[in-house]
Amino acid sequence: MATHAAHHDDHDHKPGFVDRWFFGTNHKDIGTLYLLFSLLMFFIGGSMALIIRAELFIPGMQIVNPEFFNQMTTVHALVMIFGAVMPAFVGLGNWMIPLMIGAPDMALPRMNNWSFWILPFAFLMLLSTLFMDGGGPAGGWTLYPPLSLQGGNSMPFVIFAIHMMGISSIMGAINIIATILNLRAPGMDLLKMPVFVWTWLITAFLLIAVMPVLAGAVTMLLTDKFFLTSFFNAAGGGDPVMYQHIFWFFGHPEVYIMILPAFGVVSEIIPTFARKPLFGYQAMVYATASIAFLSFIVWAHHMFTVGMPLGGELFFMYATMLIAIPTGVKVFNWVSTMWKGSMTFETPMLFALGFVVMFTIGGFSGLMLAIVPADFQYHDTYFVVAHFHYVLVTGAVFSIMAAAYYWLPKWTGVMYSETLGKWHFWLSTFFVNLLFFPQHFLGLAGMPRRIPDYNIAFSDFNMWSSIGGFGFGLSQLLFAWIVIKSARGHGPRATAQVWEGAKGLEWTVPSPAPHHTFTTPPVIDDRVLAHGDVTH
């Protein structure tokens, strides 16, 4: 009924299944959909990774042909980036941002639902290419021309799938910005917002700034292939390297899109379990903004070896190294938050600590890669693979796990099993290091990425890595089991505050959070805020 539009009259009556999950506007339901979708994609992308690791278990060709292997590396990346990590953070943002700022919902709830529902169709399209003539895309997720223009029928489908993901991300980001800027409860000043909200505000800005650039880049690929243009064709005055510049102008902010919300999550969790306010709240906010700014002027460090003028190499090298400063501020502040805190080590804290240690390892290898002459050796080797998996798996994914354990009691109303959670953490941490740490050595020894076969000199490390891969993959089944158990309501009841040291508006509503919260603005009490009143 079109006129049935008031805010609080479905407080009591439950919407039907279709109305709730397909036509819904509730930020919690849509957040749940995002998170479940992300979990599904995590397992699909993970299965592809296991195919890769199975093939690389020993040298020689055993399981898949090289063409399919290349499809796996390409689609694994696209699925994990656009299907697993980004939707997970959007899901967390959907669930938690309104709860953290005292808003009743997202600012544009129907568009929110559209942002989500585009994704399953986009991934249906992307994954369907694996079954087409010529198979899926096989030229790497970056879709560099001319290689990406030489594939089979999959090319236009992949590009349109990327367009759809972009539309979804842009709408999601617009929604998050409008929510944060417009729907904060009175008294929730910008510099009183939880850091997670801050990081999402900046991330949303990055998304709106760069997703359209990606759309432009892949549109040029499409017209080069089908409509006779010469953007990336040197014979016509274009340049394949131009694609790389445009792509990485998107691509580098994109990697921060996947890590800034992770910083936010960790900045929420560590104070809770150290039972101390976050050290240097404002510094955290400014550091996040600095990283976001720098992300726009470092893109060409992904392409040091393509033949850039020396001035370009130097500029991008130094600009990249600058990022270590705000990132260092963050790591310093997390450690200082724990300093003399009364710490306990529940599962979310374990994952957050794992994040701090292992993300920093990834940050250091990033610094190594930033050095131009060294990068000439590392470029396109397993060292790069090791680097970005440390920041994305033990970084972004670990923070998502941490967030899931941290807020699961708020979402489901029951405590998960701490024993199982700790098992999950320790198994994941052991195996993920077995999986990725040896890849540093492989890369330094010269093993290139994206190959299905290798010199026998690389055998041992690859075998370890594959064992780690299967161990890590199987450990995630434990996570799925823990989530399903909680979602079905098995476990001891959770209190509203859930964690002894937890502060912030989200802990003032009951667990599970009622379907509608803050339908009237809450009164902000600085003492219950995560960071207190930092402006005084």
Partner 1 sequence: MANHAPDQNIYYVPHGSKWPLVGSIGLFLLVGGFANLMNGNRTLGLPMTLAGVAIMLVMLYGWFGNVITESVRGFYNRQVGTSFRMGMIWFIFSEVMFFAAFFGALFYARMLSVPWLGGEGDGVATNAFLWQGFEPAWPSNGPQSIGGEFGLIPAWSVPLLNTLILLTSGVTLTIAHHALKAGNRAQLLIWLGVTVLLGCVFLFYQAEEYIHAYRDLNLTLGSGVYGSTFFMLTGFHGLHVTLGTIMLAVIWFRCLKGHFTKDDHFGFEAVAWYWHFVDVVWLALFLFVYVL
Catalytic residue set: 76, 105, 141, 168-169, 252, 254, 256, 267, 301-302, 327, 330, 449
CB 211 within 8 A of CB 244: no
- The one segment of 35-43, 153-161, 452-460, 479-487 that binds partner 1 by CB under 8 A: 153-161
Rounded to 5 degrees, what are φ and ψ at 56? Answer: -90, 5
Find the binding residues for partner 1 in span 241-260 (CB under 8 A): 241-242, 245-246, 249
Q: C-beta of 245: minimal distance to partner 1 in Å? A: 7
Find the binding residues for partner 1 in span 330-369 (CB under 8 A): none
Find the binding residues for partner 1 in span 306-325 (CB under 8 A): 307-309
CB 153 within 8 A of CB 223: no
Which of 31, 46, 87, 104 contacts partner 1 by CB under 8 A?
Answer: 104
CB 270 within 8 A of CB 349: yes
Task: Name the helix (H) or strand (E) containing 462.
Answer: helix 459-487
Does residue 163 touch partner 1 according to CB under 8 A?
Answer: yes
CB 524 within 8 A of CB 185: yes
CB 452 within 8 A of CB 55: yes
**CB environment 187-208: b (16+ within 10 A), e (fewer):** ebeeebbbbbbbbbbbbbbbbb
In angstroms, the first-to-last Cα distance of the chain is 50
Of 177 and 269, which has the nearer Cβ to partner 1?
A: 177
Does residue 54 touch partner 1 according to CB under 8 A?
Answer: no
The residue type found at 220 is M
- The one segment of 314-322, 392-400, 478-486, 517-525 that binds partner 1 by CB under 8 A: 517-525
Of 249 and 425, which has the nearer Cβ to partner 1?
A: 249
Q: C-beta of 401: minimal distance to partner 1 in Å? A: 29
Find the binding residues for partner 1 in span 217-236 (CB under 8 A): 217, 219-220, 222-223, 226-231, 233-236
Taking CB under 8 A as the rule, which mask of x and - marks residues 111-140 in contact with partner 1?
Answer: x-xx-xxx-xxx-xx---------------
CA dist 206 and 214 (Å) reads 12
Which of 521, 526, 532, 534 contacts partner 1 by CB under 8 A?
Answer: 521
Q: What is residue 18's DSSP assignment?
A: H
Residues contacting partner 1: total by CB under 8 A: 90
CB 251 within 8 A of CB 299: yes
CB 431 within 8 A of CB 472: yes
CA dist 326 and 289 (Å) reads 9
CB 529 within 8 A of CB 192: yes
- The one segment of 109-117, 140-148, 380-388, 451-459 that binds partner 1 by CB under 8 A: 109-117
Find the binding residues for partner 1 in span 172-211 (CB under 8 A): 173-175, 177-179, 181-183, 208-211
Find the binding residues for partner 1 in span 439-468 (CB under 8 A): none
Does residue 481 touch partner 1 according to CB under 8 A?
Answer: no
Q: C-beta of 139: minimal distance to partner 1 in Å? A: 17
CA dist 367 and 375 (Å) reads 10
Does residue 515 touch partner 1 according to CB under 8 A?
Answer: no
State the greatest distance between any 2 C-alpha atoms of the chain, in Å, as a whole number: 71
Q: C-beta of 427: minimal distance to partner 1 in Å? A: 37
Sequential DSSP letters for 386-444: HHHHHHIIIIIIHHHHHHHHHHHHHHHSBPPPHHHHHHHHHHHHHHHHHHHHHHHHHHH
The residue type found at 463 is M
Of 182 and 455, which has the nearer Cβ to partner 1?
A: 182
Of 114 and 464, which has the nearer Cβ to partner 1?
A: 114
Q: C-beta of 123: minimal distance to partner 1 in Å? A: 11
